[in-house]
Structure 1
Amino acid sequence: MTLYALRRLAVALPILVAVTFCVFALVDLAPGDPAAAIAGENPTPERINEIRVMLGLDEPLLTRYVSWFTAAVQADLGSSLANGQSVTEVIGDRLPVTISLVFVAMLITLVVGLAAGMLAALRHGRPTDRVITALASGAIALPPFWVALVLVLLFSVNLGWFPSIGYEPLSAGLWPWLSHLLLPAIALSLLPMAEVTMQFRQALATVLKLDYITNAEARGLSRPRVLGKHAAKNAAVPVTTVFAYRFAQVLGGTVAIESVFDLPGIGRLAVNSVLSRDIPVLLGLVALTTLIVLVINLLVDISYGYFNPKVRT
């Protein structure tokens, strides 16, 4: 298992370099001059050139990237062009909000998706299965941004059950923290939850028809044990694939959802950094999100070795 994990890690590192370099190059090719934006109104060419030299923008692209990546490996992402604050501190202040949101969203995805998928598989071909399948198919077609607006209108404006904007840290209490995250998490989780339901339903229904499941039940094993120890484990491989793919989508979806619910996370920070051309913050966010997605994919790849030992070889 250790050797398998090291092989997957060796594949992940070049991806991190490639993604960050591509974004670095695209930002460099984007219209507009960060030095001119920092210089203020009606700057002189000398002042713009001075700022360019100070920021290192006069150096070749590859030289700037190597310098940035070398510093980033040491957790030095530079300083924000907007306020001069350390990029690491700027992101660190916003990161707990987004981590909390993504955690709650993916928890809802797994709990509800696996439960609904198992129920549909156990009632395969029956009305319960058809209802769950229809609901999951409909949920896939709903845009998270639209779902967020409907949830705010229904549960915040009309019923007043949940706050419509803002965020409370976990230190303020479990319910204040959860009440601010529940609606945005539901909006984010609807699509991946529907896909987990569909994938688990199909995989589990197929596994339950295999001979070894019939033999296990014939040997007197209880239905819950057969489901938990044998069937669900073998049906989990496609679910983990969907989970990894949709995790990246949920993380990217925080940009829109955090704007709707006024959550001070890295999604809103990314929008602000693009509008203000705060390149160090933008590059720091790209590096961080890429690293998070790669770590999740690595953990999912390792989990394949647990669910199916054949992939370790």
Structure 2
Amino acid sequence: MILFALRRLGSGLVLLVVICAIAYTLLFFNGSSIARNIVGDQATPEQVALKEQELGLDQPLAVRFLTWAGDALAGDLGRSWFGTLTVADALTTRLPVTLALVTVSMVLVTVLATVLGTAAAVKRGWVDRAVQIGAVVGDAVPGFVLAIVLATLFAVRLPVFPAVSSITPGAGADAWVASLTLPVIAIVLNYVTASAQQIRSAVIAQRDRDFVRTLRSRGLGEGEILFKHVLRGAAPAGLTVLSLQFVGLLGGAVIIERIFAIPGIGQLAVDATVNGDIPIVMGVVLYTVGIVILVNLAVDLANGWLNPKVRTS
């Protein structure tokens, strides 16, 4: 198990380096001068050249990336090129908001999808049809449409929740709950039935296997078979789907954050990319990819524990 974890961790670190290198390279091919954006359109060519020298933009691209990577490895992600705020401070205030939004949403999706998917596989009938119809509707209707509808109904017409996030540094739990309730509901409604359908399929496949029929022939009850054997066998498929949704939601949270004016890393990344604020963008990339790697590692370890064959694959 330890070797399995080390292999997965090693491949994740390689992936982190590759993605950071690609992202850093692409950021310098947007066709605009970052130094000109910083000093303004009225600056002279000499001032632009001086700013490029100050930021190291006159160095070869490979040298710039290695310098950034070395500083990042030492724990220094630098400062914003458009202000005095450090990258670490910017991420410290923004990252917890996005993680709270994504984590709470995915926990609720996991619980509800497991219950609905299992009920659809066992009970069939109207529950099964409702899950399948909901999965089609969830795939067809974008999440931001649900978010706009919820914001219109419960923040504008019925001002039950704030239309704009009130999360600020030092804000209390009431501000977090009020600001994240509608975004979380929008995400859960968009994701839960699709996840439930995948879990339903995995549970049905497990219930049709020979070992389940053998357990029934030995007199084991349906409840014991379901909770001790079927769900364990269906768990890897469910975990894989949920981890993919977590990764997709982490990257796509920017739309939800813009609708509800949530101060997360999504909006921070968009603003930094438009301005060409390379230190901020690379900080977001580094932290986001690191979180994805940790989530995938946790899922791989869980799958390896549930199914020993995965460890040798």
Q: Which amino acid is 1:95 matched to?
A: L
Shift of 1:84: 2.0
Shift of 1:229: 1.4
Q: Do the aligned residues in 1 keep the contact of 2:93 with 2:169 (CA within 8 Å)?
A: no
Shift of 1:122: 0.8
Q: In 2, distance between residues paired with 1:20 and 1:79?
A: 18
Q: In 2, distance between residues paired with 1:165 and 1:223?
A: 48
CA RMSD of aligned residues (A): 1.8
Q: Which amino acid is 2:47 matched to?
A: R
Q: Which amino acid is 2:76 matched to?
A: D
Shift of 1:278: 1.2
Q: Which amino acid is 1:79 matched to?
A: R
How do 1:169-188 residues align onto structure 2 when only pairs under 5 Å count?
174-188=173-187
Q: In 1, distance between residues paired with 2:87 and 2:170?
A: 24
1:224 aligns to 2:223 (yes or no): yes
Q: Which amino acid is 1:304 matched to?
A: N
Shift of 1:59: 0.6
Deviations 1:103-127 (A, max 9, x none): 1111121011111101100123x22
Partner of 1:201: 200
Partner of 1:48: 48
Shift of 1:160: 2.8
Partner of 1:117: 117
Deviations 1:148-168 (A, max 9, x none): 101111222233332222144
Q: In 1, distance between residues paired with 2:190 and 2:240?
A: 15
Size of the aligned set, in residue pairs, is 312
Q: Which amino acid is 1:308 matched to?
A: N
Shift of 1:70: 1.2
Q: Do the aligned residues in 2 keep the contact of 1:116 with 1:132 (CA within 8 Å)?
A: yes
Gaps of 5+ in 2: none
Partner of 1:91: 91
Task: Name whichever of 246-255 and 151-160 sits farther off.
Answer: 151-160
1:162 aligns to 2:144 (yes or no): no
1:270 aligns to 2:269 (yes or no): yes
**What is the SS of the residue equivalent to 2:28?**
helix
Gaps of 5+ in 1: none
CA spacing shift, 1:253–1:259, aligned 2, 3 Å: same
Shift of 1:171: 7.2
Q: Do the aligned residues in 2 keep the contact of 1:75 with 1:88 (CA within 8 Å)?
A: no
CA spacing shift, 1:146–1:66, aligned 2, 3 Å: same
Shift of 1:175: 4.8
Q: In 2, distance between residues paired with 1:186 and 1:235?
A: 26
Q: Do the aligned residues in 2 keep the contact of 1:120 with 1:133 (CA within 8 Å)?
A: no
Shift of 1:78: 0.8
Partner of 1:32: 32
Partner of 1:247: 246
Q: In 1, distance between residues paired with 2:122 and 2:244?
A: 26
Shift of 1:302: 1.3
Q: In 1, distance between residues paired with 2:113 and 2:170?
A: 29
Q: Do the aligned residues in 1 keep the contact of 2:12 with 2:293 (CA within 8 Å)?
A: yes
Task: Name whichever of 189-198 and 297-306 sits farther off.
Answer: 189-198
Partner of 1:141: 140
Shift of 1:261: 0.3
Q: In 2, distance between residues paired with 1:61 and 1:243?
A: 38
Q: In 1, distance between residues paired with 2:163 and 2:56?
A: 43
Deviations 1:237-263 (A, max 9, x none): 111111121111101121111010011
Superposition TM-score, scaled by structure 1 size: 0.94
Q: In 2, distance between residues paired with 1:189 and 1:270?
A: 24
